[in-house]
């Protein structure tokens, strides 16, 4: 009888171990049809394929598990395993991530990705990992443009006296002060009504944010400056990561590498598509003027705004900033 019970127990344990797949809850705050949403779904599919079903990824879009800050707290206890918040959600933990708020730091997309995928990107991921998360990859939103209701923004001086909405960022506050403008910190959810009611004159955002939130409908001018970058950092719960065997960690990293490449393509396509739609609106209605800075005009902005960099040598790191600039030379 004891032998039979022992055999049954062994069989039960074996069956349970076979059924004990790892489950990853991947939370994000946007809709599934955005580049971030599509990349999360692609990652889920590839992880399950590459692990032969040993890892199951459940994606929760539209803040179903809470906002990014709440989810980051849950990840500490492994209640949620993955998220992809914007960099601003980490600057309290790792002030060096304020690097990405610095205006005109990146010459173009190639320079940006060279930094993200290189030594600087690794250093920043390591800093986040030391704070209790495993930083896996950087995903794009896009470069920021400026809009306003008063006048075309061709020269830096054109911003003087205008009220601009900004995120809660010391770098962005200093950016607009350097331009002689008045920075106003407001939640993203209040930007449209603030522009519409004239509480602020302008704002800065990526094309996808300007388009989906219809900011262009309550602004008169838009300048394609590409002056700053908005991105996401994909992180995993350190407790969960430490439980994964080495072969499955490799699976996660491979799937993330593939998903990151896809996300960057989707983000670029979306921004191009939505910029075209904004241009069509401008042409059809005559209510929006769109300007693109010439190389000479852009150089004036670069010179003006890079003057704020020394103010952040202590918090972001002079070496880090200079390393990024050198990468673009």
What pLDDT, on a 0 to 100 scale, did the predictor assign at position 9? Answer: 45
Higher pLDDT, 193 or 328: 193
pLDDT of 249 above 60: yes
What pLDDT, on a 0 to 100 scale, did the predictor assign at position 322? Answer: 96
Can you tell me the distance from the alpha carbon of 158 to that of 167, in angstroms, rounded to the nearest whole number? 21
Tell me which residue of 87, 100, 104 sits closest to 328, measured CA to CA.
104
pLDDT of 10 above 80: no
What pLDDT, on a 0 to 100 scale, did the predictor assign at position 48? Answer: 95
| Torsion region of 228: left, alpha or beta (phi above 0 gives left; psi -120 to 50 gives alpha) | beta
What is the chain's mean pLDDT, rounded? 92
Higher pLDDT, 11 or 252: 252
Angle (CA) 206-208-210 rounded to 5° is 70
Can you tell me the distance from the alpha carbon of 152 to that of 285, in angstroms, rounded to the nearest whole number? 17
Per-residue pLDDT of 102-149, as tens digits, reads: 999 999 999 999 999 999 999 999 999 999 999 999 999 999 999 999
User: Is-contact 91 169, C-beta < 8 A?
Assistant: yes
What pLDDT, on a 0 to 100 scale, did the predictor assign at position 145? Answer: 97
Residue 257 binned pLDDT confidence (cut-offs 50, 70, 90): very high
Tell me which residue of 223, 224, 218 sits closest to 285, measured CA to CA.
218
Per-residue pLDDT of 82-109, as tens digits, reads: 999 999 889 889 999 999 999 999 999 9
* CATH code matching the domain that covers 2-327, chosen among 3.40.190.170, 1.10.600.10, 3.40.640.10, 3.10.450.50: 3.40.190.170
Residue 30 binned pLDDT confidence (cut-offs 50, 70, 90): confident
What pLDDT, on a 0 to 100 scale, did the predictor assign at position 31? Answer: 85
State residue 70 phi and psi, 5-degree precision.
Answer: -65, -40
- Residues 6+ away with beta carbon under 8 Å from 309: 102, 321
pTM to 2 decimals?
0.87
What pLDDT, on a 0 to 100 scale, did the predictor assign at position 20? Answer: 36
């Amino acid at each position: 009888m004891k032998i039979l019970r022992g055999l049954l127990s062994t069989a039960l344990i074996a069956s349970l171990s076979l059924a004990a797949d790892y489950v990853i809850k991947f939370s994000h705050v946007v809709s599934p049809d955005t580049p971030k949403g599509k990349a999360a779904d692609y990652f889920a599919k590839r992880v399950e394929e590459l692990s032969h079903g040993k890892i199951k990824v459940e994606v929760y879009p539209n803040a179903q598990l809470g906002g990014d800050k709440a989810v980051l707290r849950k990840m500490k206890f492994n209640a949620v395993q993955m998220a992809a918040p914007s960099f601003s959600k980490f600057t309290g933990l790792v002030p060096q991530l304020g690097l990405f708020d610095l205006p005109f730091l990146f010459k173009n997309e190639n320079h940006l990705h060279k930094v993200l995928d290189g030594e600087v990107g690794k250093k920043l991921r390591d800093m986040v990992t030391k704070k209790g998360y495993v930083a896996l990859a950087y995903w794009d939103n896009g470069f920021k443009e400026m809009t306003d209701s008063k006048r075309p923004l061709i020269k830096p001086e054109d911003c003087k006296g205008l009220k601009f909405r900004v995120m809660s960022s010391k770098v962005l506050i200093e950016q607009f002060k350097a331009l002689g403008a008045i920075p106003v910190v407001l939640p993203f959810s209040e930007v449209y009504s603030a522009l519409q009611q004239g509480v602020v004159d302008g704002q800065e955002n990526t094309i996808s944010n300007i388009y989906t939130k219809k900011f262009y409908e309550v602004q008169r001018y838009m300048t394609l400056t590409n002056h700053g970058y908005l991105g996401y950092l994909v992180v995993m719960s350190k407790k969960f990561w430490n439980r994964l065997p080495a072969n499955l960690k490799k699976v996660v990293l491979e799937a993330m590498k593939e998903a990151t490449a896809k996300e960057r393509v989707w983000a670029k396509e979306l921004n191009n598509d939505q910029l075209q739609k904004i241009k069509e609106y401008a042409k059809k209605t005559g209510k929006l003027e769109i300007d693109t800075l010439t190389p000479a005009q852009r150089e004036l902005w670069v010179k003006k705004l890079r003057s704020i960099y020394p103010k952040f040598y202590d918090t972001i790191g002079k070496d880090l900033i200079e390393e990024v600039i050198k990468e673009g030379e």
